Structure 1
């Protein structure tokens, strides 16, 4: 089978499409034939070597790329129940130090990392859900805000922020979204109660003019750090979606960052919402597997709405 790997760190040009043996599922594992693989920022920082330099990955000659996969169950390992060959599934590959990722014709995952694919949704759209949806869900769980509380979501038009706004609104939170002028209508339709312009000279002042005293919590999907922290009330809460992006907890604000983890049960819940049209899935464009480098160039250029998706 074909797989995209990295054998030296660097720019998009280091992505290699190679031939490797089909992986075999072990106990408790499932092999799926990948029909679509999402392209995410974590793929780019893995490729660049930044995660290895930060000590988040051990040394390895070949590094697999890609976290999000949608496809069809192909083979079951011993002891697996709940899935059968031919099932349409989605899953998250949450380990960095593995030789094969989702950018491949086939992928082996623990059965506990899989969920049924959203009903009536294309594989390309389904592949945009696992990483960003679970990150948003687990960040909201860390914040643990009660219904009626006010939540600031930065990057509200992005992958994580878009899901976070919708899921927060479902929890009865009052959402204050940070988004560009062209995205205002979309984030309001997704459940935002108030919208603050992206790039505001003083984000905290803008937010506090709408929410006197500050919001109860912030989900910082845009990695604005202290600029977003200033919008949070004293002894509120704050979650960043990237390690190293969380500011110090000034004024008694509880600060965390979310380390996303595969969770098939939670992913099944998100998938059900998407299948009912209650969670919006957005595909910016699709490219064949052999154009992974082009996808990474487009990701770096920015300005995307939705995820790029590779289609083996």
Structure 2
């Protein structure tokens, strides 16, 4: 099979399309014929070597790339709760694999696989796993009661957009921070208040809407201390990204959300997408051989939604 891998760290040109044996599923596993694979910032960290520099992975001869996958089951191991032909989405949440989701086939534990949204294309479905699960698990860490107030930074991005919609479904009132041109987008996702990125005094702008500060912050834009200042005393902040968690003060709780695969929850999130409650945003698609072009576009910034590879 074809797979995009990294053997020497570098820029987009470090991505290589190679031939690898088609993997076989073991007990409790499924093999997915990949129809779409999302391109995420973590993939850029794999390609550049950042994951090794920060100790998330050990040096090895080859790294697979890609976490998000959508496709059809084409082989099952003993005890797997899927059948050949099932449309699924899944998450590759390991960094020590020779091949990842950028490939013709991927083998995942059944617990990392969920049913795909019925009404979505494969490209749309591939935008769901990493970003929606990160937002959902970040909101779990915040543990805010219905009626609470939440600031989502980076609200127009992949994680931030899902966070706004999922927070509204939990009964939260959301202030969204994003680029000025994204106000209509994030209000359409359910945000009750908008804060333009780059405004002087982020905390003051948020506190004008939520006197005393918001109850929680999901910091997808990595504002760190500026985001913490918008938080009330005793509130909670969840940072999305390595080293993005500011030092807590004023009795606040600060966490970093580390994604974990969760197939059953993926199935529930897919159902929300089918119900029109989660938006699956595709910014562009590329064939597998143009993974380097997709990486260059993502690195340039300004992408709204997810870029997707179509093997």
**Which residue of the partner structure matches residue 31 of structure 1?**
31
Aligned residues: 311
- Measured in 1, the distance between the counterparts of 2:267 and 2:74 equals 19
**Which residue of the partner structure matches residue 134 of structure 2?**
135
**Which residue of the partner structure matches residue 47 of structure 1?**
47
Greater mean alpha carbon deviation, residues 196-205 or residues 291-300:
196-205
| Correspondence 1:245 to 2:268 | no
**Which residue of the partner structure matches residue 170 of structure 1?**
169
**Which residue of the partner structure matches residue 77 of structure 1?**
77
User: Aligned ranges for residues 227-238 of structure 1 at < 5 Å?
Assistant: 227-238=226-237
**Which residue of the partner structure matches residue 269 of structure 1?**
268
**Which residue of the partner structure matches residue 123 of structure 1?**
122
- Tell me, what secondary structure is at the counterpart of 1:250? coil
**Which residue of the partner structure matches residue 88 of structure 2?**
89
Moved over 6 A (4+): none
Quote how far apart the aligned CAs of 1:78 are.
Answer: 1.5
- Measured in 1, the distance between the counterparts of 2:72 and 2:281 equals 21
Quote how far apart the aligned CAs of 1:123 are.
Answer: 0.1
- Measured in 2, the distance between the counterparts of 1:97 and 1:58 equals 8
Cα RMSD of the aligned pairs, angstroms, is 0.7
TM-score (ref. length: structure 2): 0.99
- Measured in 2, the distance between the counterparts of 1:97 and 1:59 equals 9
**Which residue of the partner structure matches residue 190 of structure 1?**
189
Quote how far apart the aligned CAs of 1:243 are.
Answer: 2.0
- Measured in 1, the distance between the counterparts of 2:275 and 2:204 equals 38
Residues 54-75 of structure 1: per-residue CA shift (max 9 Å, x gap)? 1110221110000000000000
- Measured in 1, the distance between the counterparts of 2:40 and 2:31 equals 22
